[in-house]
Structure 1
Amino acid sequence: MTATASTLPGLLLLQGEPRRVGSWVARGTVPAYVLPVGGWTAVVAAGESAAKAPYDDGLTMLANRPVPHGFRGSVGFFSIDGRAVVVVQRRGWRTIPRWLVWEPGHGAQRVHGLSPLRSSDLLDVVGVAPEETQTLRSLLRSTEGESLDLLRDLIDALALPAGRMLSGSGVPTQPDATLVTPGERDVARFERVVGEDRAIRAEQEDLS
Structure 2
Amino acid sequence: MSTAGRGVVCLSATAASAADWVRRGVVPCHVLEHASWSVVVPARTASAAAAPYDDALTVLASRHIAPRLGPAIGLFHFDDVAVLTARAAGRAPTRWALRDSDGRVVGGPDLPRLTPEDLHRTLAGGATSRLVPIRQVRELWQRTDLAHDQWLVEVTAVLGLPAGRVLDGTDTHLGPVIAPHARSVAGFDSVVKDVHQ
Q: TM-score, normalised by structure 2?
A: 0.87
User: Which residue is 1:20 aligned to?
Assistant: 17
For this pair of structures, how many residues does the alignment match?
188
Q: CA 1:45 to 1:168, structure 2 compared with 1: closer, same or farther past 3 Å?
A: farther
Classify the secondary structure of the residue corresponding to 1:76: strand
Does the aligned pair in 1 maintain the 2:15–2:38 contact within 8 Å?
yes
Q: Which is helix-richer, 1 or 2?
A: 1
Q: CA 1:162 to 1:137, structure 2 compared with 1: closer, same or farther past 3 Å?
A: same
User: Which residue is 1:63 aligned to?
Assistant: 61
RMSD: 1.8
User: Which residue is 1:151 aligned to?
Assistant: 152
Q: Give unpaired runs (5+ residues) of structure 2.
A: 125-130
Classify the secondary structure of the residue corresponding to 1:33: strand
The ranges of structure 1 where at least 4 consecutive aligned residues each deviate by more than 4 angstroms after the TM superposition are none
Q: Give unpaired runs (5+ residues) of structure 1.
A: 1-5, 200-208
Q: TM-score, normalised by structure 1?
A: 0.83
Aligned partner letter, 1:125: T
Does the aligned pair in 2 maintain the 1:84–1:151 contact within 8 Å?
yes
Does the aligned pair in 2 maintain the 1:44–1:168 contact within 8 Å?
no
Classify the secondary structure of the residue corresponding to 1:141: coil
Classify the secondary structure of the residue corresponding to 2:65: coil
Of stretches 75-84 and 141-150 in structure 1, the one that deviates more from structure 2 is 141-150
1:183 paired with 2:150, answer: no
Distance 1:69 1:13 in 2: 14
Classify the secondary structure of the residue corresponding to 1:126: helix
Does the aligned pair in 1 maintain the 2:37–2:162 contact within 8 Å?
no
Q: 1:1-208 residue pairs with structure 2 within 5 A?
A: 6=1, 9-47=6-44, 48-93=46-91, 95-127=92-124, 128-130=131-133, 133-171=134-172, 173-174=173-174, 177-199=175-197
Percentage of identical aligned residues: 31
Distance 2:59 2:66 in 1: 15
Which has the higher Rg, Structure 1 or Structure 2?
Answer: 1
Distance 1:105 1:84 in 2: 11
Aligned partner letter, 2:181: G
Question: What's the offset of the Cα at 1:129?
Answer: 3.0
Distance 2:166 2:35 in 1: 12
Does the aligned pair in 1 maintain the 2:30–2:43 contact within 8 Å?
yes
Cα offsets for 1:84-126 (capped at 9, x unmatched):
1000000112x11110110121512332111111112221222
Aligned partner letter, 2:23: A
Distance 1:169 1:61 in 2: 24
Aligned partner letter, 1:34: V
Classify the secondary structure of the residue corresponding to 2:160: coil
Distance 1:16 1:157 in 2: 20
